[in-house]
Amino acid sequence: MKSYLFSGRSFKLACLSFALFISPIAAETLQGGGEIYEINCQGCHMADGKGDKGAGVYPALANNVKLSSVSTTMEIVTNGLNGMPSFREYLTDEEILEVVNYIRVSFGNSFKDVAQLTDIPKN
C-alpha cells in the first residue's frame, strides 16, 4: 500500500489550514463548505472548479472575478440563475454561507471579505 504525506482528507485539511493564512474564515467553515461543494456543486462545476462545457454550460468558479461580489454570489447560490437551480430549499442559510465563503477562497480565488448570514437574500 502506498503512503502519501498528503492524501485524501489530510490533503484537504492541509489546504484548508493554508487558507487561514490568506483568509479570516475559520477552518471548520471552509471544511464544511468544501463538503457542501462536493455534494451539491461539484457535479456541474467539477472538482477543480473549472466548470464543464459538455452536456451544458457550467461556468468555471476557478479564478472567477464575478465571485468578488458577496451579494451577487449569495443571490445566485440562493435563488439560482439561468440553468443553475436555487439552493434555498435544499440548503440551510448556514450551509449556503459556508459554500459561498468556500468558493470565494478556493480554486484560485482569494477574496478577503467574508459573507455573513445577513448577506443572504430574503426573497
Q: Is residue 18, in this structure, part of any structural domain at all?
A: no
Extract long-range pairs of 25-32: CB within 8 Å, 24+ residues apart.
Answer: 25/101, 25/105, 25/114, 29/97, 29/98, 29/101, 29/102, 30/98, 30/101, 30/102, 30/105, 30/106, 32/95, 32/98, 32/102
Any domain includes 48 = yes
Helix axes 8-19, 27-40, angle to 10 degrees: 130
pTM as predicted: 0.76
Q: Residue 68: which CATH number?
A: 1.10.760.10
| 8 Å CB contact between 31 and 15 | no
Query: pLDDT per position in the chain (123 positions), as tens?
Result: 444 444 444 445 444 444 444 455 555 556 789 999 999 999 999 999 999 876 668 899 999 999 999 999 999 999 999 889 999 999 999 999 999 999 999 999 999 899 999 999 987
